[in-house]
Structure 1
Amino acid sequence: MDWKFLQGLLSGVNKYSTAFGRIWLSVVFVFRVLVFVVAAERVWSDDQGHFDCNTRQPGCTNICYDYYFPVSPIRLWALQLIFVTCPSFMVVLHVAYREERERKYRVKHGENTRLYDNTGQKHGGLWWTYLMSLFIKTTFEVTFLYLLHYIYESFKLPRKVQCDVKPCPNMVDCYISRPTEKTIFTYFMVGASVICVVLNICEILYLIASRMVNLKHRGSVHTSSRRVRPDMDCDGCKSSLTS
């Protein structure tokens, strides 16, 4: 898989992100994509070839492997990385839409006119798009963590598994290659995913809090601009009484 292409696309998201979003992007590439490409793929590359069972029955080893590993963890992690990074493209597409509207507006009304003060500023529809992308990313992260725990019943890989699925003649013992090393990488990837979930939640809370503060500030400025001075109000009352 060409992870450089994915990195190039996500680099455009970085300039529109908050501080939490930039930390999230760093965690994804350093602790997830880089570890996945450099180490995790090699650790799990021999998972089926070194899955040994104490039987010579043809097809039993393959069936037992498929029974315990219906989806390879390395492929599940690859899907997880793709799904959790794709929602960020929503922000890039929305900014591109704004830039196109800005271009057409200037062509129609002149180069000195502006439709947006800053096409990448998170206000209006772009704020909602950014917030929605965070909710989608968090949902995907939690879903894949649940799937990983549900499929394998635990994040810790056992040294020995048993199965009696046909064509195995009876209860067969099978042994996983390098279970300790694979368990360590599993916990590492799960921990990195949990950190990303925490960062997404912090960014959601930060965006909502910032929006509430801005709305409160605008409301106070609008109220103060319409407020009438007390002395003028009293003069108005006196004039109404004398007329």
Structure 2
Amino acid sequence: MWSILDKITEQVTKFSTFFGQLWYILVFVFRLIVVVTLGGAVYGDEQSSFKCDHKHDYCGTICYNQFAKMSHLRFWGFQLLAVTFPTVLFHFFSLYISSEIEKINELEKAIGFDPDNQKVTEIDGKERELKKISRKKKAVGKVKTKKVYSGGSIKEVQVTNKIYVAYFISTVMKLALEAVFIYFSYTLYYIEDPRCKYENALADHETIPKCDDSFVDHVLMNRVPPTYTCTDDGADFRTACATSGALGWENAVVTCFPSRPYEKTVFLRYMNILSFVCLLLCVLELLYMPIKYMLRKAYHNRPKKAPQTVYIYRNPPPEMNWGNDTASTAGESVVNRRSIAYTETKP
């Protein structure tokens, strides 16, 4: 698995920007590896250690389903699989374009194509190959060469406009998927503190919680509560909890206690914050790529100054004596006129 990820990362980073490479580091190192190595230790007993003040196990199962509609580990695994899918698609597309460029180069060598003169030495009997090369070049597009740092050395990589467009589209897809899963994380795991609903009815000795409605509080700083109030949400709860014990049909409430809530809160906030940082990196990359393209295009289309001819004479002819236009120094005399320089070195 890690060898496959290494090949994909090496191929994609050849065409990515600084923001894209930072995104890869955060996703594959600080998100994927953390979930694989530490996630099982934190969430390995999340359901078995989820205890409720009810004597029937069925009630605890129903309350756990209400508490965590989807396991955190499964959600993050699906999230990482989805946000890296555009990267995998771009990897195979760039490999396809690179292989087509290699095929074009091999065909040109086979028919004796001279890359310096852009001509074929002998055309007779090679019309079919020339048409094939022409079709492939049209499909690939104009090929450019750029230098990148990869594998501990600087290498030349052949790129086309299609590769740049595909990379831009993959970045848009990554941005959309990051945003979608941040929203899913909020809808699945945001649990409002029940004291926020009855803030005015709290006793004097109870601490009033911080009940903000901001994006940071709801999404980035989401929390796993130390206690969870399982309430009547339908027939399943009534069947498992309300009718199997001393609880009545109305206002049935079961209090449950998740295991290691503080540790899971740290893990949850860590993943949410990194997801948001990756989303910002995608936004910055989408802004950076067109700005870089426009600046490069403006640089190549800038008006160029006409070349000036400069003549330097050590022993000038008499007819080039321009009198007052001569600037003299101790060892030489220089004449500048109409972009012409005249230099004389005295013995």
TM superposition score normalised by structure 1: 0.82
CA RMSD of aligned residues (A): 2.4
Aligned pairs for 1:78-227 within 5 A = 78-110=77-109, 113=115, 116-118=143-145, 120=157, 123-153=160-190, 154=218, 155-163=222-230, 164=232, 165-166=237-238, 167-169=240-242, 170-220=252-302
Q: Could you tell me how far apart the structure 2 residues matched to 1:123 and 1:209 are?
A: 18
Question: Does structure 1 conserve the Cα–Cα contact (< 8 Å) formed by 2:226 and 2:257?
Answer: yes
Structure 1 residues 6, 75: closer, same or farther in 2, change over 3 A? farther
Partner of 1:238: none
The number of equivalent residue pairs is 223
Give the whole-Å Cα distance in 2 for the aligned partners of 1:87 and 1:133.
Answer: 5
Measured in 1, the distance between the counterparts of 2:188 and 2:73 equals: 13
Work out the CA distance in 1 between the residues paired with 2:159 and 2:282.
Answer: 16
Whether 1:27 aligns to 2:26 is yes
Task: Indicate if the aligned counterparts of 2:144 and 2:160 stay in contact, CA closer than 8 A.
Answer: no
Rg: which structure is higher?
2
For 2:160 and 2:107, the matched residues in 1 are separated by: 24
Q: Is the 8 A contact 1:10 1:89 kept in 2?
A: no
**With CA pairs under 8 Å and 6+ residues apart, which has the higher RCO, 1 or 2?**
1
Amino acid at match of 1:191: I
Q: Contact 1:12 / 1:92 at 8 angstroms: preserved in 2?
A: yes
Structure 1 residue 13, shift from structure 2 partner: 1.6
CA drift of 1:156 comes to 0.8
Gaps in structure 2 of 5+ consecutive residues: 119-136, 138-142, 147-156, 191-217, 243-251, 307-347
Is there any run of 5+ residues in structure 1 with no aligned partner, and where? 228-243
**1:136-192 CA-partner distances (Å, limit 9, x unpaired):** 111111111111111122421111112232311131111111111100111111111
Question: Which aligned runs of 4 or more in structure 1 are off by greater than 6 angstroms?
Answer: none
Residue 121 of structure 1, CA deviation: 5.2
Give, in whole Å, the separation in 1 of the partners of 2:159 and 2:280: 21
* Paired position in structure 2 for 1:73: 72
Match of 2:40 in 1: 41
Comparing 13-22 with 44-53, greater Cα deviation is found at: 13-22
CA distance in 1, matches of 2:4, 2:262: 33
- For the 8 Å contact 1:51–1:175, the answer to whether it is kept is yes
**Identity %, equivalent residues:** 29
1:165-222 Cα shifts (integer Å, max 9, x gaps): 231113111111111110011111111112211211111111111111122234336x
Aligned 8 A contact 1:162 1:173 in 2:
yes
**Which secondary structure does the structure 2 equivalent of 1:172 belong to?**
strand
- 2: CA distance, partners of 1:185 / 1:129: 34
Distance 2:31 2:40 in 1: 12
CA 1:142–1:204 in structure 2 vs 1: closer, same or farther (change >3 Å)?
same
SS at the partner of 1:177? coil
Q: What is the rounded CA distance, in whole Å, between the counterparts of 2:71 and 2:177 in structure 1?
A: 18
Give the secondary-structure state (helix, strand or coil) at the position aligned to 2:98. Answer: helix
**How much does 1:58 deviate?**
4.0
Partner secondary structure for residue 302 of structure 2:
helix
Higher helix share: 1
* 27-36 or 125-134, larger mean C-alpha shift: 27-36
Which amino acid counterpart does residue 160 of structure 1 have in structure 2? T
Shift of residue 89, structure 1, vs aligned partner: 2.0
| CA–CA separation in structure 2 for the residues paired with 1:4 and 1:41 | 22
Matching residue's letter, 2:301: G
TM-score (norm 2): 0.59
